[in-house]
Amino acid sequence: MLQWREPESRGDAGWFDDDAYRTMIEVCPVPIAVIEPDTTVRLWNAAAARLFGWTADEVRGRPIPIVPETPLAECREPHAVVQGGERLVGVETRRVTRDGGSIDVALSAVPLTAGDGRVTAIMLVFEDLSERRPASAAERTAALAAARFERFFEIMPIGLAWAGDAECRRIDANPAMAHILGIPPDTNASKSADPALPFRILRDGHELPADELPMQVAAATGRSRRDVVLQVERTGGERVDLLANVAPLFDAEGRPNGCVAAFLDITERARHEEALRATNRAKDEFLAMLGHELRNPLAAVRNAVVAARREPSGAERALAIADRQAAQLAHLVDDLLDVARITHGCVTLRQERMSLRQSCRAVVDAMLATFEERGQTLVVSLPPDEVWVQGDPARLEQVLANLLSNASKFSPHGGEIALSVAMDGAEAVVRARDHGIGISRDLLPRVFDLFAQGDRALDRAEGGLGLGLTIVRRIVEAHGGRVEARSEGLGHGAELVMRLPATAAPAPVAPSGPTVAGDAAVRVLIVEDNRDAAESLAILLELFGHDVRMVHDGLAAIDAAGAALPDVMLVDIGLPGIDGYEVARRLRSDARFAPTTLVALTGYGRDDDQRRAVAAGFDRHLVKPVTVEALQEILDGVAARARTARAG
């Protein structure tokens, strides 16, 4: 039993000034508090701080915080008992701890009196009964559950936080949440308690005041907050996107007294969603532009046809317009098909050892008229020796044409474009440099992406779908190379650089004799359900002196072939009755048509379509619109074989 001897001649509350007494209480390993009769705390030693959780600075000069709101019936509170000079010794009771829990203690209370007998203070001494009394089964279960929760709280990879009071003055965060906030573990994460914490919480880019934060709102109102999107801005400006879910906690009377919260880092998801939104915006802009680009040549073709009908004397001029615009339409469709095929890996490269130097010359010769029309100067720098690469000549010449076309398109009238070919170690390097409008810093990293284009004027005088550079990158990468764009910004021109693995020069081969194409007429059967397309093709072939017939469905094609035994059949695939594949299969099963050259004319241009046509029995597969040169090459070959057969 603790006995206290009041110092003599101290007067009221004079014992508080005695350093010896104060030091004794501070260092005592037993939890001790000294309060005034109105429960204001005067002394609170370190052992009491460890037992209840409040530090001396937090409780000194304030009412003692450990008294439950509803005191236990068997225990009158000390300040009421000792007023009459009584003492309490070893009374078992329950007190409140800082974290919102409770603890069973044995409480002793001793009144401290002045010389005149007045009670001037009360000393409280506590013993932790949990250390003395074996835990009950329920207490052991609760302790095990608490330990499991604490372990779960610590190891969860998502951010978790917990507050034990309605004002969220103390928020405990697990390690994952501390990492998100950029604070050390075990730091009080409450902005309500410390507005100077080194992070800001934002919604839609605006910082939230402490009383509008999701945890504070849930703890104050007792209402859950679901799927709240927030941003945490850490020191240095780095932002983390979070998805927050908060649930309130309630005391025994159903009043909110805290909350628990889970925070999921959705930074990567937010970036992907923004990238998808940007792609969708670019796609919508592309589709609008596609409609514009297709309507323009169609309108020109339609106007040319009407003009030719009304004024036959101007037919030649009108037909020239229609021819140019039809070529533009074909170019647009080719670009679309190329992007689709290349993007999905549906293009088979027919690679061979080829001279990049010669390919550049061929492309330059083909495009000279374009540069002359625009008054532009093309400066070509080629090495004295051949530069050999392993590649598909047609595809790589398409790349070179796109590079030059791009440079010309974005250069002013009278501008200069430079094309160079050189060796750089084991790589062949092609550079196309212009002094045109340049590429903005924002566009430069994605200039080769599908649908990516810079700002264009509404007049879109140069036209095009902006697919050329996407095609360039995919073709070059398919050849094991790479392509990059360089620019100092708008108004400073641009340089496109293609790099391909170089290869050794081929062994010399003996020259072969020239091939002489004949001009004899051949019998042609056109099978096309589009009557205008069939008739226009027939007129064209008749102008070359060929004997041409037309039918418009698959079954009629079988009958017409049996009657005419044509040298060449130009067969559309999508036919009524039976399709073009079935037409070819039936003809190939009949020996009479063994000499007949079957040519598939179709809008389906994938590699799978070509393989299917060959499997059905077609000799050639041509994608609409077919050029006159391609048709004439086939017909000349048939005529030449016929002459050879007759000569033999």
CB–CB of 214/246 below 8 Å? yes
CATH code assigned to 523-647: 3.40.50.2300
Query: Class of 352-501 per CATH?
Result: alpha beta
Euclidean distance between the first and the last CA atom of the chain, given in angstroms as a whole number: 136
- In this prediction, residue 276 has a pLDDT band, given cuts at 50, 70 and 90, of confident
Length of the chain as a residue count: 648
Buried b (16+ CB within 10 A) or exposed e, 168-196: bebbbbbbbbbebbbbeeeeebbbbeeee
What are 500-535's pLDDT values in tens digits?
999 987 765 444 433 333 456 889 999 998 887 888
Count Cβ atoms within 10 A of the Cβ of residue 270 and give its class: 0-12 exposed, 13-18 middle, 19 or more buried.
middle
> Residue 500: its pLDDT value, please?
94
CATH topology of 14-132 equal to that of 137-265? yes
> Residue 133: its pLDDT value, please?
60
What are 150-180's pLDDT values in tens digits?
777 777 788 889 898 888 999 988 898 998 8
pTM comes to 0.41
CA distance 341 to 574: 20
CATH topology of domain 273-343: Helix Hairpins (1.10.287)
Rounded to 5 degrees, φ, ψ at 71 are -60, 155
H and E: helices and strands count for the chain: 18, 24
What are 379-411's pLDDT values in tens digits?
999 888 889 999 888 788 888 988 898 888 888
- Among 9-23, 197-211, 271-285, the minimum mean pLDDT is found in 9-23
Q: Please state which architecture CATH assigns to domain 14-132.
A: 2-Layer Sandwich (3.30)
What are 562-618's pLDDT values in tens digits?
888 999 999 998 888 899 999 999 999 998 999 999 999 887 777 778 888 999 999
What are 309-361's pLDDT values in tens digits?
877 877 887 787 777 777 767 766 776 666 666 555 555 677 888 999 888 88
Pick the CATH number of 137-265 from 3.40.50.2300, 3.30.450.20, 3.30.497.10, 3.90.1150.10: 3.30.450.20
What does the CA dihedral 617, 618, 619, 625 come to, rounded to 10 degrees? -170
Q: Would you kindly state where each structural domain of the chain is located, as residue ranges?
A: 14-132, 137-265, 273-343, 352-501, 523-647
175 or 444, which is more confident: 175
- Per DSSP, what are the bridge partners of residue 203? 206
